[in-house]
Amino acid sequence: MAYNLVKIAKTTSSYSGNLAKTALRSISTTSTVFEPRRLPDKTGKNVVLVDGEPFAQAKVDKEVIDYIVYGTVIQEVKTSNIAREAALSAGFSNKTPAHTVTMACISSNQAITTGMGLIATGTYDAIVAGGVEFMSDVPIRHSRKMRSLMLRANKAKTMGQRLQLLSTIRPDFFAPELPAVAEFSSGETMGHSADRLASAFNASRQEQDDYALRSHTLAKEAQDKGYFTDLVPFKVSGVDKTIEKDNGIRVSSKEALAKLKPAFVKPYGTVTAANASFLTDGASACLIMTEEKAKALGLRPKAYLRDFLYVSQDPIDQLLLGPAYGIPKLLKKAGLTMKDIDSWEIHEAFAGQIIANLKALDSDYFCKNYLGLNEKFGTPDMTKWNNWGGSLSIGHPFAATGVRLCMHTANRLVRENGQLGLVAACAAGGQGVAMLLERHPEANAE
């Protein structure tokens, strides 16, 4: 597979060239009135996306929520169904059912699409979907040997039996098991896989650093312009200061980025702390409901949730290629082309992963041999790509990222006067998601 990907890299244009391209359009006049592209409603319910602001401002009674779906990745045993525990803690009715989903980095995408299915079947009308990750306090387990001994000690009936078990303890019993962002099937960390993928697609260190700088620069511009209206200030218990904005956005220089050492494949790797997404605490939530229900409640929808699909591929050599597989498949399913998309929001796990996906889509070899296409799919318009930065600059609280991608898509469609947006993301296990959103005629970006 690695050899094939190197061949792909040699047949694709450089990513740096794509960044430098600009879109040109001639002015034309016509007697026909422009009509925005509308997608068919496949659910029969016109499922719409509403942000979480009505709850933050207590404008919506929690009793109207029929169901809650929440995602998480690194689970705490005490709150294995975090959706239910969070709902009760937040004051939702104890009559409101809730369940938790997990699908790695696309867990809140799964929460949203699960909610869409429940609405489409007529089971419910209004659902809260989201995700949460608490990376600063992850569960750390005892070693397997220690766990086994503790369980046997718990079953021991006499003091003598317990003392005999204690006498078997060895120093290595005390070595903890730390959670790692690694594949169970291969044992490889995601960062190491990203480094291999970048190398296979000939994504240079310079290209990766340039993309990371682009992400941080665009995120800083969007933040300064007040575009991140989906954020809700949060007061941390025991801390005086209220968190009001993302604190991972750092616009550096090319020279500073070039000085960083490889983080995974040492000493020759190209993935560094700066061109990889950083792990952070975070939570997200959105309302999804029928358009009829939203209007009855006096809510202004952000977007229609029109279509989606999930993909999976080889978790060893193609772990992070979910977008390259999902984007062409979803557009074909919806009868669209890349030119129909006004806003691209793609999860930035690593700069090298983004570049590899772009090169894969622009490769005849990859598209013919792995996607079953007749020719290369092509490269999306980079002037419409992650224009407010992404996970590289904003952060990646695993299960919360999907809602952020959807909300940025909806708000960007308003501010950039677009109609259709596409969300795509890769995930552990060699999986991925692609979603289509359509701007609602009453949407605003506030």
pLDDT the model gives residue 179: 76
Residue in 348, 420, 349 with CA at minimum distance from that of residue 384: 420
The pTM is what?
A: 0.89
In this prediction, the residues of the chain whose per-residue pLDDT falls under 50 are 1-34
pLDDT the model gives residue 22: 32
Name the CATH superfamily, with its identifier, for domain 47-138+229-233+277-439. Thiolase/Chalcone synthase (3.40.47.10)
Task: Give per-residue burial for 14-38: e unless 16+ CB within 10 Å, then b.
Answer: ebeebeeeeeeeeeeeeeeeeeeee
Instruction: List all residues 6 or more positions away from 73 whose beta carbon is below 8 Å from its beta carbon.
Output: 102, 104, 105, 107, 133, 398, 399
Residue in 256, 260, 288 with CA at minimum distance from that of residue 276: 260
pLDDT the model gives residue 437: 98
Enumerate the H helices of 167-204 as residue ranges: 190-200
User: Can 426 be counted among the known catalytic residues?
Assistant: yes
Q: Which of 396, 406, 408, 440 is catalytic?
A: 396
Q: pLDDT per residue over 220-246, tens digit each?
A: 999 999 999 999 888 888 888 898 888
pLDDT the model gives residue 57: 60
Bond from prior residue into 139 cis (ω within 30 degrees of 0): no
Residue in 148, 248, 257 with CA at minimum distance from that of residue 212: 257
CA distances from 67 to 53, 70, 73, 283, 381 (A): 18, 10, 20, 18, 38
d(CA 84, CA 98): 5
Delimit the domains of the chain by residue range.
Answer: 47-138+229-233+277-439, 144-177
Estimate to the nearest angstrom the gap between the alpha carbon of 318 and the chain centroid. Answer: 17
CA distances from 343 to 120, 307, 414 (A): 25, 15, 10
Q: Which of 286, 367, 406, 426 is catalytic?
A: 426
Residue in 359, 375, 352, 349 with CA at minimum distance from that of residue 324: 359
How many degrees, rounded to 5, is the angle at CA 434 between CA 402 and CA 299? 55
Q: Which of 105, 286, 367, 406 is catalytic?
A: 105
pLDDT the model gives residue 56: 58
User: Can 192 be counted among the known catalytic residues?
Assistant: no
User: Can 396 be counted among the known catalytic residues?
Assistant: yes
